[in-house]
Copies of this chain bind each other. A is one copy, B any other.
Amino acid sequence: MHTSFRPDYNPLIRKLESVFALTDDERQALETLPMQVAVVKDNQDIVREGDRPTRSCLILSGFACTYKITAGGRRQIVAFALAGDIPDLQSLHLTVLDISIGTISPCRVGFITHEALREICLGYPRLAAAFWRETLIDAAIFREWVTNVGQREAYQRMAHVLCELLVRLRAVGLAEDHICELPITQGEFADALGVTPVHVNRVLQQMRADGLIELKGDRLNIPDWDKLKRMGEFDPTYLHLESDQAAA
């Protein structure tokens, strides 16, 4: 982990601003939050289950994921973490981490101490509410994820996750129209969906044959967005995006 000091709150501020306009004071408080920036290679853990961290990590760029390893050694990815996300914000109030966070692609990660976060929350109640709200949206995504894995077949599950990824990427300006970069391997999708990599491969081929997606290397294109949404029973309400880019 190569580290340096450099403030770069753009993706976070962009997210918060999509909910309500920040005052100059609030914006400045955010921009002067001390943050230690690190560059992390792909397939590296940023934090691990069992840790008792004193800071939280803000994903500045790249793809990461939140996951658990079962006693049987199987891995479940419970969420993807994109630019602007703070996937372990909960550690601010829960001392022990019940999940690990690992990179999928190379990432720039900013670490913010809990001390600094607590201070800004006390001084700026609206920012405190905004941070709280972010963790509530995380929870909403977990709920939808339970439903996806519990009630839908593999084909629908995959369609649903792809819809979620595209909408979330669009919300932070990382997708244009129905195209985005997507450096997620079939094995990682397998861990996210609770199926085997072999089955992911078969499902993806079927989706390609059905004209739902074009997925080649790191590039995803969705030629028929409405059909993909329908197949995945995707309704973006649970993402609680204020702007209506979600529905598009």
Bound-complex Cα distance A239 to B193 (A): 23
- State whether the Cβ of A137 lies closer than 8 Å to any Cβ in chain B: yes
Chain B residues contacting A13 (CB-CB under 8 Å) are none
Size of the A side of the interface (Cβ < 8 Å), in residues, is 46
In the assembled complex, the CB of A180 is this many whole angstroms from the nearest CB of chain B, namely 24
The 0/1 profile, CB within 8 Å of B marked 1, for residues 57-86 of chain A is 000000000101011101110100000000
Chain B residues contacting A68 (CB-CB under 8 Å) are 143-144, 147
- State whether the Cβ of A36 lies closer than 8 Å to any Cβ in chain B: no
Q: Are B132's CB and A98's CB within 8 A?
A: no
Chain B residues contacting A144 (CB-CB under 8 Å) are 68, 98
- State whether the Cβ of A14 lies closer than 8 Å to any Cβ in chain B: no
Q: Are B93's CB and A129's CB within 8 A?
A: yes
The 0/1 profile, CB within 8 Å of B marked 1, for residues 130-150 of chain A is 001101111110111111011
Q: Are A135's CB and B133's CB within 8 A?
A: no
Q: Are B132's CB and A93's CB within 8 A?
A: yes
Bound-complex Cα distance A147 to B129 (A): 29
Contact A66 to B125, CB < 8 A, known contacts A94-B240, A96-B237, A240-B98 = no
- State whether the Cβ of A105 lies closer than 8 Å to any Cβ in chain B: no
Q: Are B93's CB and A136's CB within 8 A?
A: yes
- State whether the Cβ of A128 lies closer than 8 Å to any Cβ in chain B: yes
Q: Are B194's CB and A143's CB within 8 A?
A: no
Bound-complex Cα distance A79 to B158 (A): 23
Q: Which residue of B lies closest to A233 (CB)?
A: B71
Contact A150 to B147, CB < 8 A, known contacts A93-B129, A94-B136, A98-B140 = no
The 0/1 profile, CB within 8 Å of B marked 1, for residues 86-101 of chain A is 0000100111101100
In the assembled complex, the CB of A156 is this many whole angstroms from the nearest CB of chain B, namely 8
Q: Which residue of B lies closest to A129 (CB)?
A: B93
- CB < 8 Å neighbour of A135 from B74, B132, B149: B132
Bound-complex Cα distance A126 to B128 (A): 13
Chain B residues contacting A9 (CB-CB under 8 Å) are none
Interface pairs (6), CB distance under 8 Å: A78-B147, A94-B133, A96-B237, A98-B144, A122-B125, A142-B146
6 residue pairs, one from A and one from B, having the closest CB atoms: A150-B194, A142-B142, A139-B139, A71-B233, A76-B147, A98-B238
